[in-house]
């Protein structure tokens, strides 16, 4: 049984044929399933617990390019009972100053966070280091009882530089963020649920159904209103309330606003 705030999973709709943009043969490290309103991307490097290497980074950039041109909800998960155990340490060990300044992982995770439609991270097993930072970039995080999430980077002589150093404080508050970032604390699923880092817990065989149920709920909202709300939510504090007013002005002129409100009024009359 699921714990937390999400609705019970519903049977997923049949997947649509993948578009040419998501030709499964084009990816070495990802498994991709596309539907009319969403894309499910599984990280798939089973020999190294889905560690994030340069190829996976490049392939996730390719996914982002498609979703920027044709916005859909993105579900991210990991194959074989693991989300992502971190960055590929063999590659990470060889990176130097210029690689750090290039922001190899942080540039991708920022791009994922800024996708037009919501991103759902469905976590199972390890979500550590870069894997955790990828999850932090999502709009929603749900998990299984086996989730272990955190940032052990300082134990490797580096810092969590792909978003954790600032996103994590916003997500869980400064005290817990410092335990994770400075003391290497790894949260269990129940601990992550308690601090709202994940919002629900599901058995492994129901995790993707739960992610699809959440995507279904997103899909019932007006598409333009969802996109604009996500943008306004992410805007810097100093841009409010002007950005809210401008965004609302756009939505007040949309056909969907009139149609949806009229349907609401018609239901009230019955």
51-80 pLDDT per residue, tens: 999 999 999 999 999 999 999 999 999 999
What average pLDDT does range 108-131 have in this prediction?
Answer: 98
Confidence band (pLDDT; 50, 70, 90) for 8? very low
Q: Is the pLDDT of residue 116 over 80?
A: yes
pLDDT value for 26: 83
Better pLDDT: 67 or 90? 67
pLDDT value for 23: 66
Better pLDDT: 22 or 77? 77
Sketch out the chain's domains with CATH numbers: 3-219 (3.90.226.10), 223-269 (no CATH)
- Those residues whose C-beta lies under 8 Å from the C-beta of residue 230, and which sit 6 or more positions away, are 116, 117, 118, 139
Q: Where are the beta strands (DSSP E) in 51-151?
A: 73-78, 119-123, 126-128, 140-143, 148-150
Confidence band (pLDDT; 50, 70, 90) for 21? low
pTM: 0.90
What average pLDDT does range 77-97 have in this prediction?
Answer: 88
178-234 pLDDT per residue, tens: 999 999 999 999 999 999 999 999 999 999 999 999 999 999 999 999 999 999 999
CB 150 within 8 A of CB 184: yes
> Pairing state of beta strands 38-43 and 73-78?
parallel
Interior angle at CA 123, CA 180 and CA 172, nearest 5: 35
pLDDT value for 104: 87
Among the listed residues 116, 127, 111, 110, the one whose alpha carbon sits nearest the alpha carbon of residue 197 = 127
pLDDT value for 88: 77
């Amino acid at each position: 049984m699921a714990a937390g705030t999400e609705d019970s999973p519903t049977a997923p709709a049949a997947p649509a044929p993948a578009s040419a943009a998501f030709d499964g043969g084009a990816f070495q490290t990802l498994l991709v399933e596309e539907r009319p309103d969403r894309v499910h991307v599984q990280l798939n490097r089973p020999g190294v617990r889905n560690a994030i290497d340069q190829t996976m980074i490049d392939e996730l950039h390719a996914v982002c390019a498609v979703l920027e041109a044709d916005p859909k909800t993105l579900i991210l998960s990991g194959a074989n009972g693991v989300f992502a155990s971190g960055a590929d340490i063999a590659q990470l060990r060889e990176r130097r100053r210029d690689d750090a300044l290039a922001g190899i992982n942080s540039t991708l995770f920022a791009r994922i966070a800024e996708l037009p439609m919501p991103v759902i991270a469905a976590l199972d097993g390890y979500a550590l280091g870069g894997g955790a930072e990828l999850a932090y970039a999502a709009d929603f995080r749900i998990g299984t009882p086996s989730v272990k999430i955190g940032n052990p980077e300082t134990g490797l002589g580096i810092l969590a530089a792909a978003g954790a150093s600032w996103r994590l404080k916003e997500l869980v508050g400064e005290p817990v963020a410092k335990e994770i970032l400075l003391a290497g604390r790894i949260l269990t699923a129940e601990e992550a649920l308690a601090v709202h880092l994940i919002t629900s817990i599901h058995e492994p065989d129901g995790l993707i159904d739960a992610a699809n149920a959440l995507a279904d709920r997103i899909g019932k909202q007006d598409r333009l209103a969802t996109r604009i709300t996500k943008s306004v939510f992410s805007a810097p504090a100093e841009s409010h309330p002007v950005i809210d007013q401008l965004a609302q002005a756009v939505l007040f002129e949309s056909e969907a606003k009139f149609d949806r409100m009229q349907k609401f009024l018609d239901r009230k009359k019955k």
